[in-house]
């Protein structure tokens, strides 16, 4: 039972990572070569967002890590005092 | 210390390649500016893929799990006979 849940979680993770990779590759590399009246441009957002979204995600990740470390430090100091 | 030196030298070579690409203008400029961000995103994607793949491939051993439970019960009985209580709940 447990390994079925593990396998499905692993499959979902790899599917998410592959889809993000292909979407981002299309967005950054292939789309500038396509003519601007192709239908595929509808499915991709504005190219400026291709920079802003990863930067925002990185900033969110770093701030989450800092907050987590800070909370753990405060908790340990409260316990020791 | 050696590990940090390896990582720093790798970063220096990658940034040297990137600045060289910028100066030589083989690739259109809009690509060279996006290249580091693209590499970081693809690196994160690769890590996630490896984690997911490892989760899928990870082997469970049901027979060994059963044998282990049997061993644990045997050990508990053995200690209970000698008067030591190792039961965790």
What tens digit of pLDDT does each residue of A23-51 get?
888 888 777 777 777 777 777 777 777 78
pLDDT classification of A14: cutoffs 50, 70, 90: very high
What tens digit of pLDDT does each residue of A47-64 get?
777 788 888 998 999 999
Residue A76: is its pLDDT beyond 80? yes
Q: Chain A closest CA to B85's CA: distance in Å?
A: 30
Largest Cα–Cα separation, chain A: 67
Q: Chain B closest CA to A76's CA: distance in Å?
A: 27
Q: How far is residue A45's CA from residue A23's CA, in Å, rounded to a whole number?
A: 11
Judging contacts by C-beta atoms under 8 Å, the chain B residues touching residue A29 are: 31, 38
Least CB–CB distance from A13: residue in B28, B38, B51: B51
B83: left (phi over 0), alpha (psi -120 to 50) or beta: left
Return the DSSP state at B27: S
Q: Chain A closest CA to B71's CA: distance in Å?
A: 21
Judging contacts by C-beta atoms under 8 Å, the chain A residues touching residue B55 are: 6-7, 9-10, 13
pLDDT classification of A3: cutoffs 50, 70, 90: confident
Q: What is the pTM of this model?
A: 0.68
ipTM: 0.72
- What token pair was written down for A22? 């292909």
């Amino acid at each position: 039972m447990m390994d079925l849940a593990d396998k499905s979680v692993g499959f979902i993770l790899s599917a998410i990572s592959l889809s993000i990779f292909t979407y981002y590759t299309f967005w950054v590399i292939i789309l500038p070569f396509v003519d601007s009246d192709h239908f595929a441009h509808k499915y991709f957002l504005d190219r400026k967002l291709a920079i802003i979204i990863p930067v925002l995600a990185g900033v969110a990740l770093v701030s989450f890590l800092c907050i987590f470390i800070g909370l753990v430090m405060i908790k340990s100091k409260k316990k020791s005092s | 210390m050696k590990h940090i030196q390896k990582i720093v030298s790798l970063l220096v070579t990658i940034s040297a390649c990137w600045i060289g690409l910028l100066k030589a203008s083989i690739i259109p400029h809009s690509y060279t500016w996006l290249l580091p961000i693209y590499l970081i995103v693809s690196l994160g994607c690769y890590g996630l893929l490896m984690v997911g793949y490892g989760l899928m491939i990870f082997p469970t051993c049901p027979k060994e799990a059963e044998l282990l439970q049997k061993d644990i019960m045997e050990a508990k009985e053995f200690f209970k006979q000698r008067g030591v209580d190792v039961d965790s709940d």
